[in-house]
Structure 1
Amino acid sequence: MALYTFIELPPFESLRDELFDDQGYSELQYHLLEHPESGVVIPGTGGCRKLRWSVNGKGKRGGARVIYFLRLAQGHIVMIAAYGKGERDDLPRSWLKRIKEAYEHEQNQKSR
């Protein structure tokens, strides 16, 4: 299993504790460490992925949606957002793409 660092962006961080207990979040992280490409690529977002994840015994269909993207060459799994099924509609693709681009721009500035 490869070693990656999880980076939580503010939209994800603000809802993480509402959706996941410590064990549930650890299980999600472990799953992504073993299967980083398991989420479905969301078209038009520049590579953001959506993963259905079971929370509070609801199963995957009724559980959470986790939005993330990969920077595997840098060893990063970047958590963008999470929400419960039925709590909101799908996040706009343009918003996801802008979040990802802003993060990558910031990282590129740091590496100069």
Structure 2
Amino acid sequence: MEFVETSIFRQFFKGELGEDGLRALQSDLVDNPALAPIMRGSGGARKLRWAARGSGKRGGYRIIYFYSPSEQRCYLLLGFRKGEQDNLTTEQLNTLREYIKRHLL
């Protein structure tokens, strides 16, 4: 499977996950690309709850990604700490849906 990272995601992982965390995330997604549920109203994006070092999934990160089975490609779109934001706003979901529609489908 090929991974494609947005600049926003790359910025997040450099500051938060590091290379080891990114490799662990990618390994889990290779094993099961449908690991996370599709977010309603997102155009097919999935929200993965990812554990931060020293805490469980509930206190960790949220990784937003889009998996294209036909291309065998996983697009890592966004990442954020749960403490910063738990769910995407309606406006963010709309923007995400449009991005997927225009650039990934």
Other-structure match for 1:94: 94
Other-structure match for 1:62: 59
Unaligned regions of 5+ residues in structure 2, if any?
none
- Percent same amino acid at aligned positions? 31
1:8-64 alpha-carbon deviations (Å, 9 max, x no partner): 012211211122022211111000000100111100111100000012222111000
* Counterpart secondary structure, 1:103: helix
Other-structure match for 2:26: 29
Superposition TM-score, scaled by structure 2 size: 0.89
Superposition TM-score, scaled by structure 1 size: 0.83
- Give 4+ residue runs of structure 1 displaced > 3 Å after superposition: none
> Quick one: which amino acid aligns to residue 95 of structure 2?
W
Whose Rg is larger? 1
Cα separation, 2, equivalents of 1:89 and 1:59: 14
Contact 1:52 1:63 in 2 (8 A): yes
* Counterpart secondary structure, 2:34: coil
Other-structure match for 1:8: 5
- Given candidates 70, 73, 84, the residue that maps to 1:76 is 73
Question: How many residues of Structure 1 are paired with residues of Structure 2 in the alignment?
Answer: 102
Q: CA RMSD in A?
A: 1.4
> Quick one: which amino acid aligns to residue 67 of structure 1?
I
Cα separation, 2, equivalents of 1:37 and 1:53: 14
Q: By how many angstroms is 1:88 displaced?
A: 2.6
> Quick one: which amino acid aligns to residue 96 of structure 2?
L
